[in-house]
Chains A and B, each alone.
Chain A
């Protein structure tokens, strides 16, 4: 196993880079990170729109949410990969395809988390903020959302962990992320499938568990702040 790591660690980390496109673990982390960074503000906006008092805004968003939620990620991946170039006339790279799909899915799921949190907050919070003269936007920003996001943190982390794992579906369109590279290594070595996939599993575990721990620590710090007695 040590020999395996010794031979292939660089390939596992970055794929064929710099001879070819960036791949491996670096690509997986980059894709997950970019998806999260892009999906967070989008999910926030969609979530706020979802609970908008104006039906002209909330209904279309509800429609999008229902459709995306009811379709497998893999299927959307195929759609974007095969149909989008036909529409735009430009070939979309595997990485770009994966990123688009992840952002669409993440923002929809995050929107649901945000919307659920906003609905669950006692109505008096928005009312008292408005009664002080704060506008709807200011009341959301300073009163509603800070509480919603704090309560929703465990669900949000759940979604982020799912995102990291979902990048492995890129395998199916030949995206050279870490799962794809692992199977390449397996083909090259041939006799050490258990070890190769064990290392792969461990890699995902470290990424996801690390993120959960980070979120847990953040959550505990926030909680200690609000619960502390004077």
Chain B
């Protein structure tokens, strides 16, 4: 479903993504992990073109994401993206956050968008907060609204960029639970996360990244029981010590 072919990305002289060639299959849950600065956030942001790439090709469902003159808006509408810092729209209510894009992009009438948003908010456990403004919500609640907002576009793919890293520990669980639910329904997901418990339980595959390269690709069983690359061994050892 997602195909990366020799993707390279530079920040000045710094080689942020090095010749990445990979695939993600439909209905797959992929977890990308690695130390900070390893390029995992950059990688996931290139998938919906929040970051440009310098060479190579990224295809999603056969469509070239970085094509010159391509309709990037139409492509993005089919890719849900969840940010570390939630990025809810503070001037809109929870419900309006979820209906803005579907209505303005003509995907649904106001009434349809509203009904769909209510279902999604129900599903993330926030039906009672529809008329609240984001400032009145906890971090965990905001992130669940952000997931509902992304789902409101009915995307076949969801990308999560460290969705729990900005949360207090006691709120991590409620967000992961929503993500587990999505995975259980067969959503194609790419998750950059440090939550190794989530990776172990939910991921179909794990990519371990460092220095802009994917150093190891494995199933969670292989990765946690028997990491092959020394950097991955080090990374997991550090995690266990925490």
Contact = CB atoms under 8 A, between A and B. Distances in A.
Interface residues of A, number: 24
A130 interface: yes
Interface string B117-134: 000000000001101110
Given A131-B79, A133-B153, A227-B135, 14 more contacts: A124-B83, A127-B83, A128-B88, A128-B89, A131-B48, A131-B76, A132-B105, A132-B149, A133-B78, A134-B100, A138-B104, A143-B89, A226-B135, A227-B133
B87 A228 contact: no
B150 interface: yes
A125 B89 contact: yes
Interface in A152-210: none
Residue among A127, A132, A150, A225 facing the most chain B CB atoms (10 A cut-off): A132
A94 B150 CA distance: 56
B77 interface: yes
Contacts of A227: 133, 135-136
Interface of A: 122, 124-125, 127-135, 138, 142-143, 146-147, 150, 225-230
Nearest to B48: A131
B85 interface: yes
Contacts of A134: 73, 100-101, 104-105
Contacts of A135: 73
B81 A230 contact: no
A147 B91 contact: yes
Contact of A230 (B50, B88, B104, B129): B129
Nearest to B102: A132
B86 to A, nearest CB: 8
Chain A interface secondary structure, helix, strand, loop or mixed? helix
A150 B129 CA distance: 24
A130 B50 contact: yes
A146 B89 CA distance: 10
Contact of B50 (A127, A147, A225): A127
B74 interface: yes
B48 to A, nearest CB: 6
Interface in B68-103: 73-74, 76-79, 81, 83, 85, 87-91, 100-101
Contacts of B149: 132
A132 B79 CA distance: 8
A132 B101 contact: yes
15 contacts: A125-B89, A128-B89, A130-B50, A131-B81, A132-B76, A132-B149, A132-B153, A133-B77, A133-B101, A134-B104, A142-B104, A147-B91, A226-B90, A228-B136, A230-B128
Nearest to A126: B87
A130 B51 CA distance: 12
Contacts of A122: 85, 87
Contacts of A138: 104-105
Contacts of B146: 128
B150 A132 contact: yes
Contacts of B136: 227-230
State the 10 A-B residue pairs at the shortest beta-carbon distance, nearest first.
A133-B77, A230-B132, A128-B87, A132-B101, A124-B87, A131-B81, A229-B136, A133-B76, A226-B133, A133-B73
Contacts of B150: 131-132
Pick from B73, B85, B136 the residue with the most CB of A within 10 Å: B73
A150 B105 contact: no
Contacts of A131: 48, 50, 76, 79, 81, 83, 150
A132 B100 CA distance: 9
A147 B48 contact: no
Nearest to B94: A230
B151 to A, nearest CB: 11
A132 B77 contact: yes
Nearest to A138: B104
A226 B131 CA distance: 11
Contact of A225 (B81, B83, B85, B133): B133
A123 to B, nearest CB: 9
A230 B94 CA distance: 10
A143 B89 CA distance: 7
Contacts of A228: 133, 136
Contacts of B73: 130, 133-135
Given A147-B91, A230-B132, A124 B85 contact: yes
